[in-house]
Amino acid sequence: MTDPSLPGSTSAGEGLAPRPGLVALFTGMLQVALSAFGGGLSAWSQRIVVEQRRWMTNEQFLTGLTVARLFPGPNQINMAVYIGAEFRGLPGALVAMAGMLLVPFSLLMALGFLYFQVHELPAVDRVLAGVVAAAAGMALSMGFKILDQYWKDPVALVLAGAVLLALSVFHARLVPVVLISGPLAMAWYWPRPARRAP
Amino acid sequence: MPALWVAAACTPASLSDLSRLLQVIGQFLSLSLFSLGGGNTLLAEYHHLAVDQYCWLSARQFADLYALAEAAPGPSSMIVGLLGLGAAWREGPGWALLSACAAELAILLPSTLVMVLACLSWKRLAQSPLRVAFERAMGPITLGILFAVGLKILRSADTDAAGVLVSCLVCVLMLRTRISPLWFMAVAGGLGAFGLINR
């Protein structure tokens, strides 16, 4: 789906702001996190990083999304890491991540403290029983959400089915499942048919 | 519906033991590199660690914390912080907060380092067959894992038939509409308060 849209001119495109420093990266990501309190985090980060602060071109941003989705780690946090690393390397990445996480993580910790204080109250437990049912529905929808793009690929469906079977029926652990299925799948999907898995 | 597996009680693993603490941090560090497809793929592993292996939380508490992380603003992968909080809750609030931050850092650090390396070498990486194969291969695997995770959460939610019906309804609505999931949680929470959904 996502093509590797490489920006031709990464260096100082016209209309771009000067490269942000560590403080600017922190406050920028803080702004993204605060703006996105109602949801739509990646839309907000595009609006702020590309349109408002003009740190990078839209192509650079979209490349970032591709990289963030491809590599391990939460997509939104990976995106912050990409933005930080693009300008200030590892320190930039860590600072951007801290800016992105500071407020939501503090809030979540406050919620967690509240939860462990009150979760044994019967009234709270009754409400939670309902909330948990809705959350389970959200969890169920995650797989269906990406299922559509694999309908025309029977190998992908067999692979996904085998992974599901191993995890849910045979209670295998994730790490060995990925370590075994990953190389097999990569061998199958290798773009040059003459080559085999690494 | 009473949970049958509560009977198989194990004693909660304490984190004040340094070697145990390092072991736990090591497990989170290595899981970090396996968080494909945005991090939610690790939920069943978190469940295994927190509920089955170390007995920090009951399955019910795990489902509660998952709902909490989904409802709160920000990346839902911050559930790791909540698990850390629960793991050391018995040892007092200070330890709990420290454990929460340690868990979150441990799960984020390795993937962050990989991500930085990827950014630096992306221009070469973008066109390499390795990347193409990796991207195509991880898609179907992520698909399988996400279905397994959905089933795991549904099972630990452990609600009655009405609750499962609500879960299925929410699943369909999540796919067919753009309504904010917070509404589903609010309505379902109301149903629970009136005793229409039980567990």
Tell me the per-residue pLDDT of B70-107, one tens digit each, with 9 for 90 and over.
998 888 889 999 999 999 998 899 989 999 999 999 99
C-alpha span between A138 and B17 (Å, rounded): 37
- The reply to whether residue A159 touches residue B141, judged by beta carbons under 8 angstroms, is yes
As a residue count, chain A comes to 198
DSSP codes, B22-78: HHHHHHHHHHHTT-GGGTGGGHHHHHIIIIIIS-SS-HHHHHHHHHHHHHSSS-GGG
C-alpha span between A156 and A188 (Å, rounded): 10
- The reply to whether residue A186 touches residue B137, judged by beta carbons under 8 angstroms, is yes
Measured CA to CA in angstroms, residue A100 lies from A57, A78, A138, B35, B37 at distances of 20, 10, 24, 19, 19
The residue whose two tokens read 């370590």 is: A179
CB hemisphere CA count around A125 (13 angstroms): 9
Distance from CA of residue A60 to its chain's centroid? 17
Instruction: Report whether A53 contacts B16 (CB < 8 A).
Output: no
pLDDT digits (tens, 9 = 90+) for A34-80: 888 777 788 888 999 999 999 999 999 999 988 998 999 998 899 99
Measured CA to CA in angstroms, residue B80 lies from A70, B115, B148, B180, B193 at distances of 21, 19, 19, 23, 27
Residue A8 host element (H or E): none
| pLDDT band at residue A5 using 50, 70 and 90 as cut-offs | very low
What is the pLDDT averaged over residues A16-32?
93
Question: What is the per-residue pLDDT for A12?
Answer: 46
C-alpha span between B68 and B32 (Å, rounded): 21
Question: What is the per-residue pLDDT for A13?
Answer: 53
- The reply to whether residue B75 touches residue A77, judged by beta carbons under 8 angstroms, is yes
Q: How far is A140 from chain B (nearest CA, A)?
A: 4
> Which residue from B69, B138, B139 is facing A108, i.e. has the nearest CB?
B69
pLDDT digits (tens, 9 = 90+) for A154-183: 999 999 999 999 999 999 999 999 999 999
Whether residue A194 has pLDDT greater than 90: no
* Structure tokens belonging to residue A87: 């300008």
CB atoms within 10 A of CB A158: 12
| pLDDT band at residue B6 using 50, 70 and 90 as cut-offs | very low
Instruction: Report whether B67 contacts A132 (CB < 8 A).
Output: yes
More confident site: B181 or B2: B181
* Structure tokens belonging to residue B94: 């200070």
More confident site: A39 or B34: B34
- The reply to whether residue A143 touches residue B147, judged by beta carbons under 8 angstroms, is yes
> Any idea where the domains of chain B sit in the sequence?
10-124
| pLDDT band at residue B144 using 50, 70 and 90 as cut-offs | very high
B178 touches chain A (CB under 8 A): no
> Which residue from A38, A69, A182 is facing B141, i.e. has the nearest CB?
A182
Global pTM reads 0.88
pLDDT digits (tens, 9 = 90+) for A124-133: 999 999 999 9
Alpha helix segments (H runs only) across chain A: 22-35, 41-46, 58-70, 75-118, 122-147, 154-164, 174-189
Question: What is the per-residue pLDDT for A10?
Answer: 43
Instruction: Report whether B108 contacts A77 (CB < 8 A).
Output: yes
Distance from CA of residue B29 to its chain's centroid? 15
Distance from CA of residue A191 to its chain's centroid? 25
C-alpha span between A125 and B41 (Å, rounded): 27
> Which residue from A108, A128, A143 is facing B74, i.e. has the nearest CB?
A108
Reference A103, options A26, A48, A44, A47; nearest CA is A26
